Amino acid sequence: MIYIAPSLLAADFANLQTDVKRIADAGANYLHLDVMDGAFVPNISFGAPVIAALRPYSKLIFDVHLMINDPLRYIDDFVKAGADIITIHLESCSNVSQTLRYIRAKEVRCALAISPATPVEKIIPYLSEIDMALIMTVVPGFGRQSLIPETLEKVKTVRRYADSQNLKLDIEVDGGLKPENVHLATEAGANIIVAGSAVFGSKRPRSVIEAMRETAANHPYRQ
C-alpha cells in the first residue's frame, strides 16, 4: 500500500483548516508537517501550537518532520500537539538513539531522516530502532525544489537492507515528488510519498493524489 502525505508547507497559511479538509476529502492518508527552526535549516515554518490547533479538525495521520536542532527538547510538545509520527534528523542531534527511544516511549511512531549530503551507511545502524526511515530527496528547508535522483539509490539500499533483516520498515521520500516521478521512488522501495506543492498547489488535488497512487501501484518495489 502506498500512502500519500501532502505537506502543509504548501498550504494556504491563511486558511489552514479549510485547506487540510480539502486534501483529506481528496484522499490523502497523512498530513506531513514540516517544522523548521531557522537554525538546522535556514527557514522558519511553524511549531507545535499550529499542529495542536489543527488536530481537532482532522483524522489524518499527523506526520511531524522535525527540522530542528536538539529535537529531544521538544518531543513532549509535539506529542501533546497530537503527532502520530515524529521524525528527527540524524544530523540534528548527538543523542540519536536516546531521542528515538524517548519518542517510542511516548507511543508515537518514531522515524529518522537523512539529508541528501548524509551517506546512507549512517542510517543503517538505526533501522531496527525505527518505524520509518525518511530519505530526503531534496535539501531540507524549502518546498518546490526538484528531486535529486541520486537520493533514490539510498532508498534502494535501505529497502534491501530492511528486507534482508526482515524489518517491517516504512520508507518515506520527501521533496520534489509529483505524478511524473513518483514511480522512481516506489520502484526503489518507498511506500510513503510526501508531496507539498504537487497536491496543495493543485486546484484538483484528488486527481493528483489518484494519479500518484495509480502510478505508484503500477511501479512497485521488486526485490
Give least dist CB 163 to ligand DX5, A.
Answer: 26
Tell me whether residue 34 is one of the annotated catalytic residues: yes
Nearer to ligand DX5, 11 or 108 (CB): 11
Q: Which residue is nearest to ligand DX5 (CB)?
A: 196
From the list Zn ion, ligand DX5, none, partner contacted by residue 196 (C-beta under 5 to 8 A by kind)? ligand DX5
Give least dist CB 45 to ligand DX5, A.
Answer: 9
Letters for 145-184 (x = contact with Zn ion by CB under 5 A, - = none) are -----------------------------x----------
Distance CA 219, CA 131 (A): 23
Nearer to ligand DX5, 108 or 208 (CB): 208
Tell me whether residue 76 is one of the annotated catalytic residues: no
Helices (H) and strands (E) in the chain, counts: 8, 8
Map the footprint of Zn ion across residues 17-56, applying CB under 5 A: 34
Query: Which of the following is catalytic: 19, 25, 34, 131?
Result: 34
Q: In the complex, which residues of this chain contact ligand DX5 (CB under 6 A)?
A: 7, 9-10, 32, 34, 65, 138, 140-145, 174-177, 194-198
From the list Zn ion, ligand DX5, none, partner contacted by residue 197 (C-beta under 5 to 8 A by kind)? ligand DX5
From the list Zn ion, ligand DX5, none, partner contacted by residue 179 (C-beta under 5 to 8 A by kind)? none
Nearer to ligand DX5, 73 or 144 (CB): 144
Distance CA 191, CA 189 (A): 7
Map the footprint of Zn ion across residues 57-86, applying CB under 5 A: 65
The phi, psi pair for 167, rounded to 5°, reads -90, 135
SS3 content of the chain, % helix, strand, coil (to 5): 45, 20, 35
46-53, long-range: CB < 8 A, 24+ apart: 46/8, 46/13, 47/74, 47/77, 48/74, 48/77, 48/78, 48/80, 48/81, 49/81, 50/16, 51/78, 51/81, 51/82, 51/83, 52/80, 52/81, 52/82, 53/16
Sign, CA dihedral 166-32-42-137, equals positive
Distance CA 137, CA 154 (A): 10
Q: 3-class SS at 52?
A: helix
Known catalytic residues are: 34, 174
Q: Give the interface with Zn ion as residue ranges (CB under 5 A).
A: 34, 65, 174
